[in-house]
Chain A
Amino acid sequence: MARGKVKNTFLDPLGKNNPVFAQVLGICSTLAVTNSFKNTVVMTMGVLFTTTLSNFTISLVRKLIPSRVRMMAETLIIAAYVIIVDVVLRAYLPDIWQQLGPYVGLIITNCIIMGRAEAFALTNPPGLSLVDGLASGIGYTYVLLVIALFRELLGSGSIWGFQILGDWWTNWSIMIMPPGAFFMLAIFIWIIKGVVLKEEEVKK
């Protein structure tokens, strides 16, 4: 029973309850940072770190939080972890920190994190909340990485800054501009919902 619950908690956000393509949360950063693979990796690691630890921490103190100030408390805990990410990036990865600009700070407003805190961490034990936060983070991460992979490849002909496509390739500049993100995300959701999720529904 307990093991099944952990398994479900972990697998749900990766598949049918994915925060990005099923719940359509965290779209701002999905659109903004995915024009280069390297930045996306750093950004998603930041979100992964924050969802996991904030979920864990909030669950740890959930019985102490007075319900009328619970959102304040949650935001404070989330913000603290985001600032830690920001400070550490600024010190050790200054180039990427500069390119990500305000988006690191904006992790605080990522609805996935607040959503998991409200919906899960407040009513579940710390261990399970940690798993839920981790899984939500991974669910967010892999969707963004797929989108970033295609955007950088088509938009700049490279991956992680290394040129992949030769001189014959004409860069699709629109892919690294904001509209490219909308196209890629829409195509991604279309394929997932049309092919993968539909098969699951038919099986039921």
Chain B
Amino acid sequence: MNGSLIFKERIYPVLFMLVLTLIFIGIVSAIYLSTREVVLLNESLFLKKALLYAADFPVPEGSTEAEEAFQTHFREVGDGRSGEGYFEILQGQGSQVVGYAFLTSGAGLWGEIEAVLAFEKDLKTLRGIEFTKQNETPGLGARITEQWFKEQFRRKKGPFVFVPEGEAAGSNEVDAITGATRTSEAVKAIVNRAVNEAGEFVGGGN
């Protein structure tokens, strides 16, 4: 093989890929960095809306209104956003603490399920639940994100018993999802573990 052939067959393709890669990495990185702030803002807004929903407050559409509602109703204790700490739920005159909210997670059928749970002051009665991440089967397990499923936890006292869909009657009973047994069990495990551990998690505060 002579010199020019070595260059053409061996060196040039490598150089070409290197240059092409650098150019496109540059373009993609520039776009990523320029939208980073917006993405972080979206993520924090998403969590705030989830907290508002879980604690049974109206969730405003606009970002400024949601931010305001969050400031009025929540006080972060420790690092609540990463699940290390928790949030105090504030309400009424003088912003009294009426409950606690925290992030929790557990294994679902396909992937991790992350949820925000909001408790009354007794740390047994749920104000509500909101799922912030799930990869369950669409149409079956993913129905945990539907309103009817989340709403049924409100003001019910754990630990919870899951009964066949449409049969929940008692104050600690919720409907499981037909056709999504494993997901229902996963949610049950996550919620009940949170109910059992809520006391020590919030630092014995009652």
Contacts and interface: CB of A to CB of B under 8 A. Distances in A.
Interface string A68-109: 110011001100100110011011101000000100000000
Interface string B1-31: 0000000110011001100110010011001
Contacts, number: 55
A77 B24 contact: yes
Contact of A73 (B12, B16, B28, B42): B16
A91 B17 CA distance: 29
A156 to B, nearest CB: 11
Contact of A66 (B12, B27, B38, B42): B12
A35 B139 CA distance: 11
A80 B24 contact: yes
Main secondary structure of the interface of B (DSSP, over half): helix
A64 interface: yes
B17 A69 contact: yes
A177 interface: yes
Interface in A20-48: 35
Interface size on B, as a range, is: 20 to 34
Interface size on A, as a range, is: 20 to 34
Contacts of A83: 28, 32
B138 interface: yes
Nearest to A66: B13
Given A73-B17, A76-B20, A91-B42, 17 more contacts: A66-B16, A68-B13, A69-B13, A69-B17, A72-B17, A76-B21, A76-B24, A80-B24, A83-B28, A87-B28, A87-B31, A87-B35, A87-B39, A90-B39, A90-B42, A91-B35, A94-B46
15 contacts: A65-B16, A66-B8, A66-B12, A68-B9, A73-B16, A73-B17, A73-B20, A77-B20, A80-B27, A83-B28, A84-B31, A90-B42, A91-B38, A91-B39, A94-B39
